[in-house]
Amino acid sequence: MENKRARIGFIGAGGIARSHAFSLKSLRYYYDDVPDLEPAAVCSATPEKRDLFADRYGFRKSCDINEFISDETIDTVFILGPNNVHYEHLKAAFGMKALKRIYLEKPVCSDQDEAYAMKELAESNKNINIQVGFQFLFTSAIRQALAFWKTGKLGKPVHFELKYYHGDYLKKDYRVKRASRLTPAPDGGAMADLGSHALSLLIAFMGKKLHITGALQAGHFEDVPRGSDLFSQISLYEETTGAVGTVSASRISSGTGDSLSLHLYAEKGSLRYSSESPDIFEFYTEESGLWSKNITGSNFRPASGFPSVHVPSGWLRSMIHAQYVFLTGGKDEAFIPDLNHGLAVQRLIIETAEHLERFRKTCI
């Protein structure tokens, strides 16, 4: 790839923006063919916050959204603000003169009207590359597990189980600190914030023809709106294979830390992954009667000597590779989460909110 310059603008200056700033600065340590990166501008609704962010992480300027979208040099935009303004910011970014690519954090929007409008915007701007922030798809073990699953060696899927659990919201001071994430579903809640990653993996492995058949939620605190699910579980049906299963997301599962797990059961075997062993996936075959453990290491391509391929890759390493794919095109990747993928996840999040509302009316 020709080593061109990417002039980068951040919309948002919160925690996830710090992670992206770190990853962008790290790209050169891993890959030789990334563009030269110029941190051009950062904007957010709070002047003090964006000024501090720009100064700390080396962005040329801090500005409001109007000045940001008027900048005729920015060609790469990271949309990193709250969920409920993702559509507004995507729409604004499409009006930028030099725009080439957008990195859109998940979940991509708040409701079905915004989802339809996003799809129309993308159809009208097909020259703009959009990648959605489902970085778990770029972890070593998940990438290898997905490639193995797609060989069909395990046969037709029968049922599945995916979980993404935290426990931090059991603490009141943490809930107060993160109150902006406790808005009612589908804008907020455990399934939108955490479960969207599990749904992204499920769609990557099983396809988009998934339908929700029911939902449950549990956990209540007086300072949390009843429409914001602290724990939720959905049941799903995949129409092509007839496979069924569950996805659950939790902010109040004590002792779990940050735990994402996937288990797929098929007619000839099964496959499993857990973030507690992030560089390993396992599969079982009926023919052998054995579990096989695949230790993937840092199997990112192109290969890097930093760190050694034997070193565990970690959460931020997958984000770094996601950015590499975003900035270079990633033609060799088995799966890249584009806007259509993000909207497929969003459809299930919106349906989850509808099922949860029915559950609350009848059971709580």
Q: Per the structure block, which two tokens stand in for 1?
A: 């790839």
Q: Which of 12-26, 223-237, 320-334 shows the lowest mean pLDDT across its residues?
A: 320-334
Q: Token pair of 134, please? A: 């489902």
* CB neighbours of residue 226 within 10 Å: 12
Average pLDDT score over residue span 255-283 = 95
The pLDDT score that the predictor gives to residue 311 is: 57
pLDDT of residue 315: 75
Q: Are 232 and 352 in contact (CB under 8 A)?
A: yes
For residue 323, the 8-state DSSP code is H
Average pLDDT over every residue of 264-268: 98
Cis peptide before 184 (omega within 30 of 0): no
H or E element, residue 278: none
Q: Which two tokens stand for residue 79?
A: 């949309």
Write down the pLDDT at residue 163: 98
What's the rounded Cα separation, in Å, for the pair 285 and 271?
9
Give the rounded percent of residues in the chain with a pLDDT score beyond 90.
86
When pLDDT is averaged across residues 257-275 and rounded to a whole number, the result is 96
Residue of 302 and 303 predicted with greater confidence? 302
Q: Is it the case that residue 72 has pLDDT exceeding 50?
A: yes
Return the higher-pLDDT residue of 212 and 331: 212
Lowest mean pLDDT among 49-53, 230-234, 300-304, 306-310: 306-310
Q: pLDDT averaged over the chain?
A: 93
Q: How confident is the model at residue 173 (pLDDT cuts 50, 70, 90)?
A: very high
pLDDT grade, residue 308 (50/70/90)?
Answer: low
| Least confident residue range of 22-26, 116-120, 175-179, 282-286 | 175-179
In whole angstroms, give the CA distance from residue 17 to residue 24: 11
Beta strands in the chain (DSSP E): 5-11, 36-43, 61-63, 76-79, 101-104, 129-132, 157-165, 210-218, 231-238, 244-250, 259-266, 269-274, 280-285, 290-295
What percent of the chain clears pLDDT 70, i.e. is strictly above it?
96
Mean pLDDT for 42-71 is 97
* Phi, psi (deg, nearest 5) at residue 127: -80, -10
Averaged pLDDT, 66-76: 97
Higher pLDDT, 312 or 31: 31
Instruction: Specify burial of residue 306 (Cβ count, 10 A radius: 0-12, 13-18, 19+).
Output: exposed
pLDDT score of 1:
41
Of 108, 105, 131, 90, nearest in space to 17 by CA? 105
What are the pLDDT digits (tens) for 213-245? 999 999 999 999 999 999 999 999 999 999 999
Alpha-carbon distance of 180 to 319, in angstroms, equals: 24
Residue 308 CB-density burial (10 A; 0-12 exposed, 13-18 middle, 19+ buried): exposed
Q: Determine the average pLDDT of the residues in 294-307.
A: 76
pLDDT band at 349 (very low <50, low <70, confident <90, very high): very high
pLDDT at 305 over 90: no
pLDDT of residue 2: 47
Length of the chain: 364
Average pLDDT of span 58-81: 97
Left, alpha or beta for 330 (phi > 0: left; psi -120 to 50: alpha)?
left
Q: What is the mean pLDDT of residues 155-183?
A: 94
Contacts of 289 (CB under 8 A, 6+ apart): none
Q: Which pLDDT tens digit goes with each residue over 22-51?
A: 999 999 999 999 999 999 999 999 999 999
CA distances from 323 to 78, 122, 288 (A): 10, 20, 39
